[in-house]
Amino acid sequence: MSKSIRLDRLLSNLGYGSRREVQDLIEAGYVVLDGEAVIDSDEKIAVTPDLPARMTVEDEPLDPPPGLVLMLNKPEGVTCSHKEQGPLVYSLLPERWRARNPAISTVGRLDKETSGLLLLTDDGALLHRIISPKSNIAKRYDVTLDRPLRGDEAKVFAAGTLMLEGEDKPLLPATFEAVSEKRGFVTITEGRYHQVRRMFAAVGNHVIALRRDRIGGLALPDDLASGDYRVIGEAELKLVFSYPG
Ligand code: URA
């Protein structure tokens, strides 16, 4: 069942302006639904996923309504935070989206120097379901190392006994597949602080580049350039849960 809300509230929650500002926009005839201008700010609008195909604001399709899920190809050098200084992942999204309520947040975090697949959503329940240890979602990272592999990394990571410095609980088993002397794919189901970098530090190596290319069964598409994002739908979202660790 779709939720209905006042048009001015819908637009203001989507970041189009204050209630007063969007009321002016509506009264001036800039908001069109199914081919007709809606000029009453208090008109109740059913918030359905097809709304962007039916509503325009100043001749542009309405932004995606709440329940938005995005995949972003995160570049190195941007931070997954709403608060920190310096370039933030949110600066890669349209400016208006940064004023949305509920706000769009990253689903977990990648380090500033990690690149690759990052999900963002304004759906708090979904976010928690993805990051919950109970969901046991496998995340794959393409790792480039400073020194040649020792050869026992896969065995050490799979054992479920590896203890990271400063921690008192061993890591869950992880898989590692070498692709060259200094490169491989590691798949983990946890999300501890700097986990992959610390795993390689624990086996005497140093990660020089880290890129996430999979979350569950969802792969980072080759045609999504660094810094680009796109909205994902039900089918792709299902893939996230389709490949537990
Ligand atoms: N492990 C890390 O060390 N960094 C990340 O960003 C993700 C996993």
Say yes or no: 144 and 124 in one domain.
no
Is residue 245 assigned to a domain? no
pLDDT value of position 65: 96
Q: Which atom of ligand 1 is nearest to the CA of 188?
A: 8
Is residue 54 assigned to a domain? yes
Give the sign of the dihedral formed by CA 194, CA 198, CA 200, CA 204.
positive
pLDDT value of position 84: 83
Whole-number Å distance, alpha carbon 193 to ligand 1 midpoint, is 7
Say yes or no: 124 and 233 in one domain.
yes
Say yes or no: 54 and 172 in one domain.
no
Q: Which two tokens stand for residue 68?
A: 């938005």
Say yes or no: 142 and 209 in one domain.
yes
Say yes or no: 154 and 126 in one domain.
no
Say yes or no: 91 and 42 in one domain.
no
pLDDT value of position 2: 75
C-alpha span between 38 and 62 (Å, rounded): 13
C-alpha span between 177 and 14 (Å, rounded): 43
pLDDT value of position 82: 86
pTM score: 0.95
Domain that residue 176 falls in:
138-215
Is the beta carbon of 197 within 6 A of some atom in ligand 1? Answer: yes
Q: Which two tokens stand for residue 142?
A: 């393409």
Last residue of a domain, one of 61, 81, 101: 61
Q: Strand 207-215 relative to strand 114-121: parallel, antiparallel, unpaired?
A: parallel
What is the domain-level CATH number for residue 33? Answer: 3.10.290.10
Residues of the chain with pLDDT under 50: none
C-alpha span between 50 and 74 (Å, rounded): 28
Whole-number Å distance, alpha carbon 197 to ligand 1 midpoint, is 6
Say yes or no: 90 and 40 in one domain.
no
pLDDT value of position 245: 62
Whole-number Å distance, alpha carbon 196 to ligand 1 midpoint, is 5
Last residue of a domain, one of 17, 43, 61: 61
How many domains, in total, are found in the chain? 3
